[in-house]
Amino acid sequence: MTTPAFPTGTILGYPRIGRRRELKKAVEAFWAGRIDAAELEAAAAALRTATRERLAQLGLGRTDSAIPESFSFYDQVLDAAVAVGAIPPRFSDLVDADGAIDLAGYFALARGEGDRAPLEMTKWFDTNYHYLVPEIGPETTFSLASDRIVRQFIEAKDAGLITRPVLVGPVTFLLLAKAATGAPAGFQPISRLADLLPVYAELLERLAAAGADWVQLDEPGLVNESIPVGRAAQLDALERAYEVLGGLASRPAIFVAAPYGSLGDAVDVLAASAVEAIGFDLVRGSLPIGLTDAARTALAGKTIVAGVIDGHNIWRGDLAGAFESAAAAFELSPSVAVSTSTSLQHVPHDVDDETKLGHLSGWLAFADQKVEQVATLAAGLIDGRPAIADALDAASVALAQRLSASGVRDGAVRARAAVLSDVDFARDDYEVRVAAQQQALDLPPLPTTTIGSFPQTGEIRRARAALGRGELSEADYVAEMRAEIARVVALQEEIGLDVLVHGEPERNDMVQYFAENLDGFDVTEHGWVQSYGSRCTRPSILWGDVSRPKPITVEWSAYTQSLTSKPVKGMLTGPVTILAWSFVRDDQPLGDTARQVALALRDEIADLEAAGIAIVQVDEPALRELLPLERDRQADYLDWSVGSFRLATAGVAAATQIHTHLCYSEFGVIIDAIRGLDADVTSIEAARSRMEVVVDLEASGFDHGIGPGVYDIHSPRVPSVAEVTELIERALDGIPERQLWINPDCGLKTRGYDETVASLRNMLEATRGVRASVGSPV
């Protein structure tokens, strides 16, 4: 087989949600029954067509496989599961005679249906994207159940474009899967590789028959040291997988991409395989070092795809440096291409859609600008550096301007951060705090609370949109939000919760809201990025030193407390999460930036305390997400991340109770961090894994307050009293009663009111039952 040339410039993937969230709107309309499957398919096809045309126009070639075919209705891992027929048995009635599943069935896997729980959802590497976890057992049968990707390739071809289909690779698919319920202890999905490969083989053959020159198989699983499969087994799987796929008589040329880190010793395995191109993440990772002679020789016969344009961040950046990095790959092979470090699915579409960023615009590159950067660097690889010198110089000038712009360095902020000492990070001893808080709060055993947000209704969002358009006055907006808060307080009192919240109606997002109220940030109008499924966020841009011009949440919380005699929790987002879910300056260590945010929050907490708020929750759901994948970088991370939380919270009196909340965390991985936070009460996600965390908790000897979630808020299902009771009892098996709090898994903002009220009522009824049975006052 003669290998078709790899495009000199490409991207690993492109946002799928649409410039104006067209896909989100169509998918949600389908869920609501406002459009049917054919209409949804048509909307998706229109979006794909527009995307391909846009990418061609921005400089990717029309017929050289440079345009990736990376669309998904919900998630690329779910797509892979559905393509290979890995449908968990509880959904088997949704599968037709050919093993295929329709769109409604596809979404049922993602969102659950009736009593059937959805696939678990978890974080995708070190990003704020979430994927669905395939369930693989000894009995899973694999077959080519969906040829969607082939049809999409043909759809493009019919429009005159030869695109490059993108699939989650077979090794990563299995490494990211979990053992199906009922699988024997110790079963590892990767043990099913030999049965899975024929399906990938069939898919590759189908793509070749349809005319695909190249296929991209994403294997980021190989860069992740925290995957619970031994490295030798990972490498063995990699070798076998590409032996089989590489050896196919009829297939497209194979491009294996390894975003989110370094391939490490997997390079040798891929070098020895028949794959034609290997993609390196040269932003988070590096080119291979210490190669054997054999690997060096083998690599010289492949295309090295240099991922030099950052797929995580939105800075225009150092384009000249990126060009140097790409050119350095010529040391490995005469065939070098430039690409993005990861898919561009983590960045918004287009800076040119923004009208309010002022001088910031010139410092930024969203997906479309990154595609242009790739095209520029590719031209440089072909025609030589002088041909692109102007573009490289322009980027360098913009970068220099950014680093020296006013607001980037604020003397007062820096002076304050420079004089911190140990006392600023330490609270009173825990025992002293427990006594003072008991006296101040007088809570019952197994206190009940929620995580903060109540449903964000259409009315709330519409009011905020009207405020933004100037159709609603600030005063009317505040009055509407206060009315909502009063409703939420009355509801919680009626249900019987012990610690109340205001419900966060005034927040568009738990990070963006703070970014809008802090100096050093800017926010976008259209900079939407998919977080999971149809849910999106507009990550803020943290470009300068951070400070708090005035109190942010104090009036809202004080108003809420004025409505009730029960304690109201103040509600803040912690420094690590504010950083993790924003686009953050890259000109200083993250820890320095976190400290600035922490100091702003510290002032906010002091103001809340002075306003009579006795409990303050500081959410850190992203604590786990920023944890570096490489073990040797973890200690330093934990040091600054935990330190920033303590700096934010340690200023309060012993009687003020500090809560924190984490979700999407494998608890075992970050128990030391949680201990380090020294929060009086920590709520964590636990219901979806049916209180598995209790084992880790018990083993760890954790002795502060802890609220493992007793019901899953990610699905509209209402848990029964019996189910909640069982989870509370399970929690009590490992956690002493005096430590245990009762709360849902996470905030309620994505839920509707009906299911929320029913679920909370059941949570309270279950709690009362357990209190009675353990002999506590009801």
Ligand X SMILES: Nc1nc2c(c(=O)[nH]1)N[C@@H](CNc1ccc(C(=O)N[C@@H](CCC(=O)N[C@@H](CCC(=O)N[C@@H](CCC(=O)O)C(=O)O)C(=O)O)C(=O)O)cc1)CN2
Q: Which does 453 bind (CB under 5 to 8 A by kind): Zn ion, ligand X, ligand MET, none?
A: ligand MET
Q: Is 238 annotated as a binding residue?
A: no
Give CA–CA dist 773/347, Å, rounded. 51
Residue 464 contacts ligand X per CB under 6 A: yes
Please return the burial class of 37, using the count of CB atoms within 10 Å of its CB with bins 0-12, 13-18 and 19+: exposed
Residue 550 annotated as lining a ligand binding site: no
621 part of the interface to Zn ion, by CB under 5 A: yes
Residues numbered 126 to 185 that lie near ligand MET (CB under 6 A) are: none
CA dihedral 500, 504, 506, 510 (to 10 degrees): 150
- Of the candidate spans 351-359, 601-609, 741-749, 761-769, the one that interacts with Zn ion by CB under 5 A turns out to be 741-749
As a whole number of angstroms, the distance between CA 125 and CA 129 comes to: 8
Q: Does 581 bind ligand X (CB under 6 A)?
A: yes
Q: Give least dist CB 518 to ligand X, A.
A: 15
Least distance CB 125 / ligand MET (angstroms): 18
Question: Of 493-532, which residues contact ligand X (CB under 6 A)?
Answer: 508-511, 531-532
For residue 746, state whether it binds ligand MET (rule: CB under 6 A). Answer: yes
CA distance 433 to 435: 5
699 binds ligand X (CB under 6 A): no
Question: Can you say how many angstroms the Cα of residue 743 is from the centroid of all Cα atoms in its chain?
Answer: 23
Considering beta carbons, is residue 152 or 537 the nearer one to ligand MET? 537
The answer to whether 85 and 145 are in contact (CB under 8 A) is yes
CA distance 62 to 213: 13
Q: Tell whether 67 is in a known binding site.
A: no
* Residue 465 binds to ligand X (criterion: CB under 6 A): yes
* Distances, alpha carbon 530 to alpha carbons 22, 64, 537, 564, in Å: 12, 28, 7, 38
| 661 sits near ligand MET (criterion: CB under 6 A) | yes
Q: Residue of minimal CB distance from ligand MET?
A: 747
Residue 178 counted as an annotated binding residue: no
> Angle CA(437)–CA(441)–CA(446) in degrees, nearest 5?
95
Q: Which is nearer to ligand X, 725 or 759 (CB)?
A: 759
User: Please, which of residues 336-395 interact with ligand X by CB under 6 A?
Assistant: none
Q: How far apart are CA 532 and CA 107, in angstroms?
A: 12
Spatial CA neighbour of 710 closest among 734, 745, 681: 745
At its nearest, how many Å lie between ligand X and the CB of residue 644? 18
Reference 105, options 180, 37, 155, 182; nearest CA is 37
Instruction: Confirm or reject binding of residue 537 to ligand X (CB under 6 A).
Output: yes
The answer to the question of whether 22 is labelled as a binding residue is yes
Residue 774 φ then ψ, to 5°:
-90, 10
Of 216 and 345, which has the nearer Cβ to ligand X? 345
Q: Quick one: which of 305, 271, 273, 276 has its CA closest to 290?
A: 271
Q: Measured on CA atoms in the order 582, 587, 591, 594, is the torsion positive or negative?
A: negative
Q: Which is nearer to ligand X, 100 or 132 (CB)?
A: 132
- Which of 174, 536, 571, 673 is close enough to bind ligand MET by CB under 6 A? 571
Give the integer Cα–Cα distance in Å for 293 and 384: 29
**Which residues face 573 on adjacent strands?**
619
> Residue 306 — φ and ψ, nearest 5°?
-90, 110
Residue that is written with structure tokens 């949804």 in the block: 40
Nearer to ligand MET, 24 or 661 (CB): 661
List the single partner that 16 binds among Zn ion, ligand X, ligand MET, none, CB under 5 to 8 Å by kind.
Answer: none
- Residue closer to ligand X by CB (options 299, 536) is 536
- The dihedral through the CA atoms of 417, 423, 429, 432 has a sign that is negative
Cβ count near 703 (within 10 Å): 14
| 165 touches, from ligand MET, ligand X, Zn ion, none (C-beta below 5 to 8 Å by class) | none
Query: Residues touching Zn ion: how many (CB under 5 A)?
Result: 3
Q: Which residues are catalytic?
A: 714
Q: Per CB under 6 A, which of residues 599..658 are in contact with ligand MET? A: 619, 621
Using CB under 5 A, which of the segments 245-253, 275-283, 578-586, 738-746 binds Zn ion? 738-746
Q: Which is nearer to Zn ion, 553 or 561 (CB)?
A: 553
Phi-psi region of 523 (alpha: psi -120 to 50; beta: other; left: phi over 0): beta
Measured over the CA atoms of residue 663, residue 664, residue 667 and residue 673, the dihedral's sign is: negative
Stretch that binds ligand MET, among 292-300, 370-378, 727-735, 744-752 (CB under 6 A): 744-752
CB 571 to ligand MET: min, Å: 6
Q: Does residue 316 bind ligand X (CB under 6 A)?
A: no
Q: Binding site for Zn(2+): what residues are annotated?
A: 661, 663, 685, 746
Residues that bind ligand MET (CB under 6 A): 451-453, 510, 571, 619, 621, 661, 663, 746-747, 749
Residues that bind ligand X (CB under 6 A): 128, 456, 458, 461-462, 464-465, 508-511, 531-532, 535-538, 581, 749-750
